[in-house]
């Protein structure tokens, strides 16, 4: 059992990470007689399931994120520190921050999530960005939109442009969502916006190493997802291991696949902080660096430390609970409740954590999705019905009434008008590999296609 807190002062709880796990823990702890400090290197909580809509210009960053301070405004016993945690002394119960400050705790909740894994090829990250943060989303938006802008400019200058091939590495939910959304903006939303290129000619391809698209979903939904992707014109290639990523192309074995924009949706590993916490406890990790926790979400021998969400390796019925939002939220809630019981000496006899699976959903494009419903009834849905369910569930779980209202309004507008709101390119106008692709593009075969402007645009 955790040692009792000295009489005369309230127990101190430090929560590291304000994602789904951390913010849920902090909100429940905020109603208890404890002092809570939540530390995050960002000042905002991000609703990651809608990041791809920021990446593909449907929503703006402010609609899917909210300052942590404003979420916890009504919990006077909570304080927010914007800083990066860089280490722990679990004997002295201290957390070390990048700024040099230290925090003391009686109970510690660590929920720093996961990050991309390039399987040891970190140099690919610049060429094939992944999607995890708002910064990633705006960078992907920049690259996707820039490819169309550069193609239009090249048509003016040279009467030719490289094929608009978009390659997405990884056929899990994020890869499928990105592919469907790129296809939607090219074929539906931008079709009347350009004068010299036809955005609908863009080709989107998913390269997946395993034999299945949406490998974690039931077989009927995998097959349905592939059908829905093909109906959108997205090519899917399974069993295709990417062996190299270079500016303007990717390699699958000996095959070279040209790409104006390559996106990474393939691998996930525990957040870097796991590597600092595990030896400090010490605690075993799995192959992705997630910390092994017991039924109470504690690393063995540390009832005062909780590791939750994507950073935790928690097994139920012999299987690892997936790294998605619902388990993270439920774990945050459980850890806070467990801390309350421990403080009141009622830890003995508490039931271990049990993940309550309500199902999974992945959207594929406008009016296209798959859904495995596990509660309140069991069903597999595809197409429009699954898409509507996805919309409702995601609006419901967004934090903040203002965000819910504004996302609802934006979706309704996009759906009815075929316009999406935030196709803004901010930042550099360089696209990795574009110049190489232009050099490799043959001159126009049709003599009627003449450069319109040779002086540059
Ligand atoms: C693009 C995308 C789409 C997704 N779609 C879905 C979906 O449709 N449905 C679903 O259920 N799940 C989805 N997920 C998964 C889901 O978002 C995660 O499982 C969930 O966010 C995990 O919650 P968490 O609290 O463990 O970590 P996170 O929510 O990732 O939060 C971690 C927090 O820790 C902070 N942090 C990290 N390191 C430090 C440090 N050293 N110091 C201080 N702070 C730190 C980060 O800034 C972040 O705020 C998606 C994920 C992504 C990336």
User: Structural domain boundaries of the chain?
Assistant: 12-41+83-117+269-343, 122-266+359-440
CA 196–ligand 1 middle distance (angstroms): 40
For residue 119 the two structure tokens come to 């399987």
pLDDT tens track for 322-377: 999 999 999 999 999 999 999 999 999 999 999 999 999 999 988 999 999 999 99
102 catalytically annotated: no
Assign a CATH topology to domain 12-41+83-117+269-343: FAD/NAD(P)-binding domain (3.50.50)
Q: Nearest residue CA, atom 52 of ligand 1?
A: 48
pLDDT tens track for 153-189: 999 998 999 999 999 999 999 999 999 999 999 998 8
Is 122-266+359-440 in the same CATH topology as 12-41+83-117+269-343?
Answer: yes
CA 253–ligand 1 middle distance (angstroms): 32
pTM of the model: 0.94
Position 412 scores a pLDDT of: 86
Position 456 scores a pLDDT of: 38
> Which of 289, 324, 332 best tests ligand 1's pocket when mutated (most atoms within 8 Å of CB)?
324
State the closest ligand 1 atom to the C-alpha of 23, by its place in the atom list counted from 1. 25
pLDDT tens track for 223-253: 999 999 999 999 999 999 999 999 999 999 9
Assign a CATH topology to domain 122-266+359-440: FAD/NAD(P)-binding domain (3.50.50)
Helices 384-397, 401-417: axis angle to 10 degrees equals: 150
pLDDT tens track for 339-352: 999 999 999 999 99
Q: How confident is the model at residue 449 (pLDDT cuts 50, 70, 90)?
A: low
From the candidates 63, 139, 152, 177, give the one annotated as an active-site residue.
Answer: 177
Region 431-446 average pLDDT: 83
Q: Nearest residue CA, atom 51 of ligand 1?
A: 48
pLDDT tens track for 390-414: 999 999 999 877 789 888 888 888 8
State the closest ligand 1 atom to the C-alpha of 17, by its place in the atom list counted from 1. 34
Helices 173-184, 219-231: axis angle to 10 degrees equals: 20
State the closest ligand 1 atom to the C-alpha of 325, by its place in the atom list counted from 1. 11
Position 144 scores a pLDDT of: 97
- Phi, psi angle pair for 387, to nearest 5°: -65, -45
Q: How confident is the model at residue 5 (pLDDT cuts 50, 70, 90)?
A: low
Position 414 scores a pLDDT of: 82
CA 18–ligand 1 middle distance (angstroms): 9
For residue 48 the two structure tokens come to 């990651």
Position 1 scores a pLDDT of: 46
Q: Beta-carbon neighbour count of residue 69 at 10 Å?
A: 15
How far apart, in whole angstroms, are the C-alpha atoms of residue 45 and residue 200?
A: 35
Q: Which residues contact 149 (CB under 8 A, 6 or more apart)?
A: 425
Give residue ranges with CB within 6 A of ligand 1.
16-22, 39-42, 48-49, 51-52, 84-85, 111-113, 131-132, 173-174, 271, 273, 309-311, 323-326, 328
């Amino acid at each position: 059992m955790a040692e009792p807190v000295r009489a005369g002062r309230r127990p101190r709880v430090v929560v590291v990470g304000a994602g789904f796990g951390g913010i849920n823990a902090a909100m429940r702890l905020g109603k208890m007689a404890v002092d809570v400090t939540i530390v995050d290197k960002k000042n905002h909580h991000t609703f990651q399931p809608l990041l791809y809509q920021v990446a593909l210009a449907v929503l703006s960053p402010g609609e899917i994120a909210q300052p942590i301070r404003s979420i916890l405004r009504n919990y006077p016993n909570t304080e927010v520190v914007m800083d990066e945690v860089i280490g722990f002394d679990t004997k002295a119960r201290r957390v070390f921050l990048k700024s040099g400050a230290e925090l003391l705790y009686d109970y510690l909740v660590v929920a720093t999530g996961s990050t991309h894994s390039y399987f040891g090829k970190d140099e690919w990250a610049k060429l094939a960005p992944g999607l995890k943060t708002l910064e990633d989303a705006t960078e992907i938006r920049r690259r996707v939109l820039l490819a169309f802008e550069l193609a239009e400019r090249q048509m003016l200058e040279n009467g030719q442009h490289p094929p608009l091939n978009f390659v997405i590495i990884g056929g899990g939910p994020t890869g499928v969502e990105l592919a469907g959304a790129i296809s939607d903006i090219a074929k539906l939303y931008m079709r009347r916006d350009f004068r010299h290129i036809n955005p609908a000619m863009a080709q989107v391809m998913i390269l997946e190493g395993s034999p299945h698209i949406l490998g974690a979903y039931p077989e009927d939904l995998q097959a349905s997802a592939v059908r829905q992707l093909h109906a959108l014109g997205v090519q899917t290639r399974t069993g295709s291991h990417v062996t190299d990523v270079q500016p303007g192309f990717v390699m699958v074995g000996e095959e070279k696949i040209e790409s104006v924009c390559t996106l990474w949706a393939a691998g996930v590993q525990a957040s870097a902080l796991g590597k600092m916490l595990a030896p400090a406890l010490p605690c075993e990790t799995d192959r992705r660096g997630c910390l092994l926790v017991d039924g109470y979400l504690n690393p063995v021998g540390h009832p005062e430390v909780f590791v939750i969400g994507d950073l935790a390796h928690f097994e139920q019925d012999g299987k690892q609970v997936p790294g998605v939002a619902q388990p993270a939220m439920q774990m945050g809630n459980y850890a806070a409740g467990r801390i309350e019981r421990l403080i009141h000496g009622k830890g003995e006899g508490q039931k271990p954590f049990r993940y309550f699976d309500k199902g999974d959903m992945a959207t594929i494009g406008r009016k296209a999705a798959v859904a495995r419903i596990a509660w309140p009834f069991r069903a597999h849905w595809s197409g429009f019905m699954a898409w509507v369910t996805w919309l409702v569930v995601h609006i419901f779980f967004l934090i903040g009434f203002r965000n819910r209202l504004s996302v609802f309004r934006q979706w309704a507008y996009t759906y009815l008008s075929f316009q999406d709101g935030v196709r803004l390119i901010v930042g550099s106008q360089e696209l990795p590999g574009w110049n190489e692709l232009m050099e490799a593009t043959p001159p126009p075969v049709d003599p009627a296609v003449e450069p319109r402007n040779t002086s540059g645009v």
